[in-house]
Amino acid sequence: MESYIQISKLNDFIFCPHSLYLHSIYDNFNAKIYHGDAQIRGKIVHECIDEGYYSTAKKYLSGIEIYSQKYGLAGKIDIYDSELMILIERKNKIKKIYDGYKYQLYAQYFCLLEMGFLVKKMCLHSLKDNKRYWISLPDKNEVRKFEKLIEDIGSFDFHNIVRKNKDKCKNCIYNPLCIY
Ligand code: SF4
């Protein structure tokens, strides 16, 4: 059976590869056991999107399933404005544009292209302060970095983890469950 990388997990892997492992293990447990408030709020935002609460306007496609055979990716988009061809990913509150956010958008972008949708622009939308952050479409250099990330995930050895940044562990939602 073909296996796909879930787009939502790119961010976890960039944050810490071991968190990706823990994410998979605890996927079926009650999220409240390990999710912090911010993650719970983010999840509620996405559940609303999945149920189509964002807008009834037909130009907005929300929560549709996407995939890329080329990169072995699967997931869902948040919102696609089919008139203006803008891909939008909403977050509860954006304090910083993390690489993980950017690569999540790139992944959605590549999936949409492969599925025949044109994307002219992409942005992150911070809901709490209603700010939009425009993200450039990936140039050659960014495509290379994105492809390297996909390769790294595909070849990652979970038995060989080196914890690089102890500060991250302090803010990590998996901290109580992590052996590192
Ligand atoms: S506690 Fe540290 S090592 Fe463990 S998953 Fe979180 S960031 Fe990674």
Domains along the chain with CATH numbers: 5-177 (3.90.320.10)
Judged against a pLDDT cut of 50, whether residue 111 lies above it is answered with: yes
Region 98-106: mean pLDDT is 95
Report CA torsion sign: 23, 19, 9, 52: positive
Mutation test of ligand 1: which of 12, 14, 16, 162 has the most ligand atoms closer than 8 Å to its C-beta?
16
Vertex 31: Cα angle to 178 and 45 (nearest 5): 125
CA of 83 to the centre of ligand 1 (A): 41
Q: Evaluate whether 134 touches 123 at the Cβ level (below 8 Å).
A: yes
Question: Strand, coil or helix: what is 108?
Answer: helix
Judged against a pLDDT cut of 50, whether residue 52 lies above it is answered with: no
Q: Evaluate whether 36 touches 19 at the Cβ level (below 8 Å).
A: no
Question: Strand, coil or helix: what is 96?
Answer: coil
Looking at per-residue pLDDT, the higher value among 32 and 175 belongs to: 175
Q: What is the pLDDT of residues 23-51, one digit of tens each?
A: 776 655 444 444 555 554 555 555 555 45
Q: What is the pLDDT of residues 59-93, one digit of tens each?
A: 889 889 999 999 999 999 999 999 999 999 999 99
Neighbours of 44 (CB within 10 A): 11
Q: What percent of the chain has pLDDT over 70?
A: 77
CA of 4 to the centre of ligand 1 (A): 23
